[in-house]
Amino acid sequence: MSPRLSAQNYKTLKNTVELPHYTPAAHASGIVHLGIGAFHKAHQAVYTDTLLHVAGGDWRIQAVSLRQPTARDQLNPQNGLYTLLTKTDSALHWRIIGAVEAVWVARENPQAVINLLAQPAIKVVTLTITEKGYCQIQGALDLSHPDIQQDLHNPANPTTMPGFIVAACAHRMRNQQPGFTLLSCDNLAHNGRVTRAVILAFAEHIDAALAQWINHNIAFCSSMVDRIVPATTAEDRTAINTYLGLDDHASVVSEPFSQWIIEDNFCNDRPHWELAGALIVKDVTPYENLKLRLLNGGHSLLAYIGFLLGYDFIHQAMGNANLRQLLQLFMDTEVTPVIAAPEGIDMEQYKATICARFANSLVPYKTTQVASDGSQKLPQRWLATAKELIAKQQQPTIIPFALAAWLRYLTGVTESGQAYTVNDPQAEQLTALARAYHPQHAPDIQPLLAATGIFSRELLSQNEFMEGLERWLASIHTQGMEASLGRFLLST
């Protein structure tokens, strides 16, 4: 068995592995990250690693896993070091990342995490907790959420992001310490505003004076993040370890493309991530819309329809000529008319880049991974576009078809009768209702539509839109996805 990657041996690696151009242990931490996972390790931590090389500073990361010890058990024995392998069809690149100092497990010691967040040296707190980690409904705190109720009744023993942040702010307020900047890096529209809303609402239920302190001392930044980071497989890890000659339990794989757009709304010292390639802007919204509507919206379209066509991976779905045509039509005829390209972005080139990234077979992204949490993702990815098209007197047709595919996906049963797990916060209820619906035997679709919570009253009143959705859902149920997709393209 090879020795484990660590601070004691990483410098012995072969020259073709890019090593940190700084001594990690010589830099203290100024960032806490909540929700460490593969994406953070392949994105924000990489920008920070590059920054430490370019400009130095005490900006290493104390990472927190809110629930599971996996990341802690992988990284702490390796002194926070891990390998990032970037892949294209023509090149591989290995890089050791040294930006993470340590990983904490919140559930094991909540007070230790609160104390960590309350340290004056921590100037920035970043988040990748997924859409459901905000415990929100349409941008407002979900007070009925059981985890929020738990934290409101036990503020010294939190489990959620709002609970931990508010507890740390209470500690800072009591000790007359400065605030920090909270920077969301999740695929959530206006993520900084949503973070601010849920934090202030939570604090108001704890202490009005604390909410006022947060309002004056904590800054909230939106950001837009973009990099395809599939789940690392056992085969990936074996190949990486063989190449290194060391065992790395925390390696990640990604595409080379990476983008980070950050709102300039910091309240104190900050990492100069722009030196590492990030873009600091006054308003993230145009970049956010571009990515959420085109890239994330297209990703979801490929995921649901591709899965129902029998594809395990996104790049396989891109190999289907009909589905590739549908993706292009979605981008050209339904998304492009309602979004403005930010300055410096060539829309046609951006869309071409999306297609090339989706087709990268060396970064195999599972359709089921992209298809997770649809009830949380689709309002931003599809419905916002539909609403704007309708407002412009343009009737969307691809979005109703895609929504029909999602509702069929919620049944958890393939066309051949094989069961699969639907990963969604509302999976139990939605799967039961999706299975109860059938256009011939139980044609009432309203209970399923209502239970999703994603359809506004305004959209439900759009007869042409809803009729299209119901018509294509019936077709997918009775004729299958392949035949339905062919018929749909012939009708456009």
Q: What is the pLDDT of residues 276-309, one digit of tens each?
A: 999 999 999 999 999 999 999 999 999 999 999 9
Q: What are phi and psi of 339, to 5 degrees?
A: -130, 145
> Which amino acid, one-letter code, is at 154?
N
Task: Give residues with Cβ within 8 angstroms of 254, minimum separation 6.
Answer: 42, 43, 84, 85, 86, 87, 227, 228, 229, 230, 363
b/e map of 268-304 (b: 16 or more CB within 10 Å)? eebbebeebebbbbeebbbbbbbbbbbbbbbbbbbbb
Distance in angstroms (rounded) separating the CA atoms of residues 94 and 227:
17
Give the residues of the chain that fall short of pLDDT 70. Answer: none
Range of the domain at 265: 10-283
Q: Side by side, which strands form the sheet with 17-18?
A: 17-18, 92-97, 82-87, 252-254
**333 and 401 in one domain?**
yes
Q: Is 139 contained in some domain?
A: yes
Domain boundary among 231, 252, 283: 283
Q: Is 5 contained in some domain?
A: no
Signed CA dihedral, 266, 268, 270, 272: sign only: positive
Q: Is 66 helix (H, G, I), strand (E, B) or coil?
A: coil
| Vertex 338: Cα angle to 337 and 344 (nearest 5) | 85
**222 and 110 in one domain?**
yes
Model confidence pLDDT, tens digit, residues 346-404: 999 999 999 999 999 988 899 999 999 999 999 999 999 999 999 999 999 999 999 99
Helix residue spans in 374-456 (DSSP H): 374-378, 384-391, 398-409, 427-436, 446-452
CB 135 within 8 A of CB 189: no
Domain boundary among 256, 283, 310: 283
Distance in angstroms (rounded) separating the CA atoms of residues 434 and 429:
9
- Total domains in the chain come to 2
Q: DSSP string covering 193-210, please? A: HHHHHHHHHHHHHH-HHH
Q: DSSP string covering 430-441, please? A: HHHHHHH-BTTT
CATH code where residue 440 lies: 1.10.1040.10
Q: Is 3 contained in some domain?
A: no
CATH code where residue 225 lies: 3.40.50.720
Model confidence pLDDT, tens digit, residues 56-85: 999 999 999 999 999 999 999 999 999 999
pTM: 0.84
Task: Give residues with Cβ within 8 angstroms of 350, minimum separation 6.
Answer: 290, 294, 341
